[in-house]
């Protein structure tokens, strides 16, 4: 592992956790005017968007770890492109949290560290096909998770819904990219462990 690669990984961690993320695309806008939220609706939207923000922190860490372990320049470039789109998601969810007068998860450094280790281990121990398999399964689970949030977000919160809908479309594209690049289907037990880990993360981040 080169010093340059380590510096890039450290830079990604610092930018994700401590810098204000900047999106390369405009924030998705709702097709209809935003309605005023009740205090109960606002708190629920904050909790759900905080969970989505944590998911984007983990996505940055996962792609950073995988890129660090990847030896294929073409695949590394694809992972970097996906990571840039995830940065848009990070910025959008952070912006929406600010608008809702909410805060990110206090445990973001922990979430980042865990996802980074998983991404690096998948790429280093399993190779490109396993690493891509993790991308596919992660994005599938995230897509399902975002769909559930479309159902759970208050009906009046059109702004959050617009952001979640675009994120969902992007995650589907990332999964398709990984499949075309030769992703391996992960074993059932691995998928189950990933689902359990995601459940713990989303449950905790909903409150902390």
Please tell me the distance from the alpha carbon of residue 56 to that of residue 85, in angstroms, as a whole number: 10
Residue 4 pLDDT greater than 60, yes or no: no
What confidence score (pLDDT) does residue 146 get? 93
* DSSP structure class, residue 154: -
- Does this model's pTM top 0.75? My answer is yes
Cβ-Cβ contacts under 8 Å for 22 (sequence gap 6 or more)? 87, 91
Cβ atoms 54, 111 nearer than 8 A: yes
What confidence score (pLDDT) does residue 44 get? 96
Percent of the chain scored above 90 by pLDDT?
41
Sign of CA dihedral 197, 99, 26, 30: positive
Q: What is the pLDDT of residues 119-163, one digit of tens each?
A: 888 888 778 888 888 889 988 999 999 999 999 999 999 999 999
Domain boundaries 37-205, corresponding CATH code: 1.20.1260.10
What confidence score (pLDDT) does residue 98 get? 96
Residue 33 pLDDT greater than 70, yes or no: no
* pLDDT tier at 5, thresholds 50, 70, 90: low
Closest residue by Cα to residue 156 from 12, 8, 27, 38: 38
What are the residue ranges spanned by the domains of the chain? 37-205
Q: What is the pLDDT of residues 73-99, one digit of tens each?
A: 888 888 888 888 889 999 999 999 999
């Amino acid at each position: 592992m080169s010093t340059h690669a380590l510096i890039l990984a450290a830079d990604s961690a610092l930018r994700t956790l401590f810098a204000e993320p900047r999106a390369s695309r405009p924030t998705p806008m709702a097709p209809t005017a935003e309605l005023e939220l009740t205090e109960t609706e606002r708190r629920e939207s904050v909790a759900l968007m905080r969970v989505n923000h944590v998911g984007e922190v983990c996505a940055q860490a996962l792609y950073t770890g995988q890129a660090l372990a990847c030896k294929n320049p073409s695949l590394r470039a694809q992972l970097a492109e996906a990571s840039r789109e995830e940065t848009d998601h990070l910025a959008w969810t952070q912006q929406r949290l600010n608008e809702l007068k909410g805060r990110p998860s206090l445990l973001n450094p922990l979430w980042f560290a865990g996802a980074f280790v998983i991404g690096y281990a998948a790429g280093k121990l399993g190779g490109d096909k396993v690493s891509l398999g993790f991308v596919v399964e992660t994005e599938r689970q995230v897509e399902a998770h975002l769909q559930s949030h479309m159902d759970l977000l208050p009906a009046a919160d059109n702004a959050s819904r617009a952001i979640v809908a675009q994120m969902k479309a992007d995650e589907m594209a990332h999964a398709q990219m990984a499949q075309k690049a030769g992703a391996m289907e992960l074993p059932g037990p691995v998928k189950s462990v990933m689902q359990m880990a995601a459940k713990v993360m989303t449950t905790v981040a909903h409150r902390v």
